[in-house]
Amino acid sequence: MTSSSIVYDESKIKTLSSLEHIRMRPGMYIGRLGNGSHPDDGIYILLKEVIDNGVDEFIMGAGREIEISLAADGAVTVRDYGRGIPLGKLVECVSVINTGAKYNTDAFQFSVGLNGVGTKAVNALSRRFVVTSFRDGEFARAEFDNGVLAREEKGRSGERNGTLVTFHPDPDMFPDYSFNREFVRKRLKRYSYLNAGLKLHFDGETFHSENGLLDLLEVETSGTQLYAPIHHRDKAIEFAFCHTEGYGESYFSFVNGTYTNEGGTHLSAFREGLLKGVNEFAGKKFDGEDVREGVVGAVAVKVREPIFESQTKNKLGNADIRGEIVNAVREAVSAFLYKHTDLAEIVIDKVQQSARIRKELQHVRKEAKAKARKVALKIPQLKDCKYHPAPGKPSPEGRGNMIFLTEGQSASGSIVSSRDPMTQAVFSLKGKPLNVYGQPMALLYKNDEMYSIMRALDVEESIGRLRFDKIIIATDADVDGLHIRNLLLTFFLHYFESMVKRGHIYILETPIYRVRNKEETIYCYSERERSEAEKKLAGRGKVRRPVEVTRFKGLGEISPKEFKQFIGPDMRLKQVDIDILSEVPKVLEFYMGKNTPARRDYIMSHLVVTPA
């Protein structure tokens, strides 16, 4: 049948209900689905949407506590003590898109959920959703099954005002899901920093901050600060920052209480305001790169009508607020430096030192580029891919590219033969990379291997030019492979910490064993999986079937035909994450520094001897 022969008339036009549209296109509302193994998986977005409503109540001065609990069966319960949803509109507020009080600035001056979608998406994507509102001695309860109203109830109540929500994510949408409690803890910790005075109770722990973003900066930069963080807060903006000895710049940015991990207008405006504030105080024209080198900062803004690039609210797009934020930051920074001249002296010294180092690096960089051009126009170890996002911009949803950093020609040969050349690039290391911990950045431009990696990623000048969405470390599952992995992680954590913080670095998981008989093959990623696979394939009868077990000592031992499935749609990746920035230098110093006796004592005290 040809397309011209298909009848296209009124019968082909279909109108979806809110519920049907959310379930058919969940990615439009909560981003990725996932199973809970990644902090941006859908189940955490569902939790966030419900908590956001309680936070919005706190922002409006109603309710100073939120209780969160996770049941063993996967149910989530959130109780806030705000004003409670108006009882007569309870059902509509959680089931009809574009319904809610957040369109009314008298009821909500600053809110995350201005699209009237949040709890509706939670309801639509839950097997069971129950909401109860308590207001002035009365209550209303609505129960939904798969987004469809099942029963309602109203009556008198002695409960404090507020809203109680319990939901079970739909297993059809989230197969085999489970909540990682550490992901939840991290999210709640950020909520507390953003909303000074709010108490969030979870797992017997209370998350609470009195000083807001100042507390966040103290934790993230403890032991690495060059001076006590500069902190400013007014009705519309709060920020804190300080300089460290680290490379690059790193930020935590928020809008109306939610984390915007891709930044946006507010972050770029803050960075510009910081530059102008320092220059205004110093009476100079320092370069932005020099002023912000080593800065760790946090900025939170309140916007009456935020415009986000997606329902998941990762990036703010309001252009109209830029000038106001720039001026607010400029004035606050300049005034603070005038009032604290001792601290200002440290800031200016740091900026001038960064300028000197940058000029030295320019010379080294120029020499490295000239040397590279003489050797080859192309990077010899790189098998590039065809698709690359625009510099500084992530790939569109559903389309991304990646580069595998792997060891040796054998391993890279397997990946090259089985990769998708459109989106997957391969960089083959010549040997063990240099341990760069504690080394000046100029060394990277003098070391051929390190410089080639930077050229492949296109981060010689700035990480803003990064050519890949994902950088995947793919090494053998042996001692040498783990050592190479650690050396590469040291490279990224030491010089390109913000690249890790933005979620670009991953570790590829490949099988250690192949267990098979004539009928079936099972790939195993641990000793336990190998043992279970052997038992399964051998059978339970008196006569056991023969089972062949192969130990993959290196990636090169996996044939390209087999390897294809391990770097395809079901690729197993572990994202490298930073829990607390201030812990990075301590970890690197211990494992990669020159404290050999301390490291040796640690290894000996934790050594496990396996009986022969």
- Tens digits of per-residue pLDDT, 224-253? 999 999 999 988 899 999 999 888 899 999
Q: What is the mean pLDDT of the chain?
A: 86
Choose from 153-162, 388-397, 474-483, 593-602 the range with maximum mean pLDDT.
Answer: 153-162
- Average pLDDT for residues 173-194, to the nearest whole number? 91
> Among residues 269, 331, 343, which one has the least CA distance to residue 300?
269
- Average pLDDT for residues 505-532, to the nearest whole number? 92
pLDDT at 99: 54
pLDDT tops 70 at residue 165? yes
Domain boundaries 213-357, corresponding CATH code: 3.30.230.10
Strand 382-383 vs strand 148-156: parallel, antiparallel, or unpaired?
unpaired
pLDDT at 590: 81
Q: Which residues contact 535 (CB under 8 A, 6 or more apart)?
A: none
**81-122 pLDDT tens trace:** 999 999 988 988 888 775 544 434 443 344 444 344 688 889
> How far apart are the C-alpha atoms of 534 and 181, rounded to whole Å?
33
Residue 30 parent element (H or E):
helix 27-30
pLDDT at 12: 59
- Average pLDDT for residues 459-472, to the nearest whole number? 89
Residue pair 60/44 in contact (Cβ under 8 Å)? The answer is no
pLDDT at 335: 95
Six-digit token string for 399: 């389309």
pLDDT tops 60 at residue 181? yes
pLDDT at 112: 47
Query: What DSSP line would sit under 386-402, residue for residue?
Result: S--PPTTSPPPTT---E
Sequence ranges of the chain with CATH classification 3.40.50.670:
376-510+573-605
Domain boundaries 18-206, corresponding CATH code: 3.30.565.10
Confidence band of 211 (pLDDT split at 50, 70, 90): very high
pLDDT tops 60 at residue 467? yes
pLDDT at 8: 62
pLDDT at 374: 65
DSSP H helical segments within 256-340, as ranges? 265-282, 288-292, 322-339
pLDDT at 307: 80
The three-state DSSP-derived secondary structure of 536-565 is: HHHCCCCCCCCCEEEECCCHHHCCHHHHHH
pLDDT at 176: 86
**331-354 pLDDT tens trace:** 999 999 999 999 999 999 999 999
pLDDT at 114: 39
Degrees (nearest 5) of the Cα angle 131, 136, 139? 30
Residue 421 parent element (H or E):
none
pLDDT at 115: 42
pLDDT at 378: 73
pLDDT at 107: 36
Q: Which residues contact 72 (CB under 8 A, 6 or more apart)?
A: none
Go through the chain and tell me how many residues it has: 612
Percent of the chain with pLDDT over 90: 47
pLDDT at 105: 42
pLDDT at 184: 95
Sequence ranges of the chain with CATH classification 3.30.230.10:
213-357
Phi then psi dihedrals of residue 548, to 5 deg: -100, 125
Q: Please tell us whether the domain made up of 376-510+573-605 is placed in CATH 3.40.50.670.
A: yes
Six-digit token string for 428: 């083959």
Sequence ranges of the chain with CATH classification 3.30.565.10:
18-206
Q: Strand, helix or coil at 132?
A: strand
Percent of the chain with pLDDT over 70: 90
Six-digit token string for 91: 């059902």
Query: What DSSP line would sit under 319-385, residue for residue?
Result: STTHHHHHHHHHHHHHHHHHH-HHHHHHHHHHHHHHHHHHHHHHHHHHHHHHHHHHH-SS-TTEE--
